[in-house]
Structure 1
Amino acid sequence: MERPVALVTGATSGLGAEFAQQLAASGHDLVLVARNVARLQAKAMRLRQDLGVTVEVLPADLLTDDGVTAVGARLADRERPVALLVNNAGFGLVKAFDANTAEQETDHLRILVRTPMQLMHAALPPMLERGHGRIINVASVAGFIPRGSYGAAKAWGISFSRSANLRYRPRGVTVTAVCPGFVRTEFHQRMGANINRIPRWMWLNPDRVVREGLAANAAGKSVSIPSRRYAVLVALGRLVPDALAAAAGNRGR
């Protein structure tokens, strides 16, 4: 039997690289999407050599129409079906909304909302035709608290994943928002965030986030909050004043 194919965006580092690793280890062939061709090829070579899977490299800048169109076309290809889409590509802005340019905020909103929406729209029709498919949207616990435009964008991913899972799970397609807290990846360093104020107990390892997210998606859940401590924090965040919840979320700025 042919192995199922998973397409992962932002696949060369952080959670994207971990999703690729665990999916390959579980028997998936891969389509890896990122901007950096050299890093894509290096990641693909390691996965082929270590796990014996087929890996397709798809260089694309998902902040451009051409990049999104190329990935969308791959997802819509009925001859080479994609069984699982991981919308992981993204970045954060360390400054407050008023200190960023409108262009920076527009790009931020595009990569976190518009791009995953377009890729889901491309992936869903062939999945629904086949009667099975899986979609994972990497969100954040920031989507549950007042956390600037980043939290607002992630809140969209959570809300839409919940709605889509209700609508499409009965037709065989499960949609899950994976909502980690602080994860030991390159994410915060790339955005220039000060991580010195973040307590050690708040950090999660990528392997746990991905493992729990994949398990939640396989179980048909619409939201995955990795670790019990973050599940408790999210529950408490609904009860405390906005100012207190925002202060906790802004530790990584």
Structure 2
Amino acid sequence: MSTDAVEPAEKAPRRRSLLTFLRDVLVIILIAALVSFVVKTFVLRSFYIPSGSMERTLLINDRILVDELTPQWTGYDHGDVVVFKDPGGWLPPVPQAPARPFIVEAADWVLTFVGLSTSDAQDHLVKRVIGLPGDHVVCCNALGQITINGSPIDEASYLDLPAGDTAASDVDFDVTVPADRLWVMGDNRDHSQDSRAHQELPGGGFVPLENVVGRAFLTTWPLDRFGLIDTHDEVFRSVPAAKSK
């Protein structure tokens, strides 16, 4: 019996099997990319820390995870460390990066799409929430402390201040946080361009809630710094609720 007629018949199923395998792999990749995109957009997002404004809590080049979902239900609280998009004029203009090969740009776009790249972190900031909507936030009292709705807070547990400096801010302020806004400050107070530094801008130094990506809750890199990000609830426990207007 001749094998000439058998070989084509054997090759056809093999080709179909290979095409089926490639199709299944493509479907798996597309589903994984879609799931990653949904997670990044609505659940979790990764960022890196580009500056020292949140030292000692967060160090330069730390990688953090941000919870985007829970705050949609619970809102934000005093002491939360939040990531937010520049409200306008907080960050200096970013110099145009030199052109990169198309394949590099495409790969970075894909990785950003699925949440594995943090190249868009340069458009965001990370600070600690000090004032919530309606809060009257003042600095400083006779002890150099910030007061919120008349109650002083002792921030020594997380502030990074120069030796001998006990004042919570070298800039005085007296603000009432508008609705749907936050007053935020960096833990490294003398080296943080936060709400205090932008009071002359149209936004008054407040961060619109719509600009807030979410609450930073975990440091993931480097591994020796892996751990939860402390919101220091004890510092704000005595703060009374803002008076309703």
- TM-score normalized by the length of structure 1: 0.24
User: When you count helix as a share of all residues, which structure comes out higher?
Assistant: 1
Name the structure, 1 or 2, with higher relative contact order (CA <8 Å, separation 6+).
2
Q: TM-score normalized by structure 2?
A: 0.25
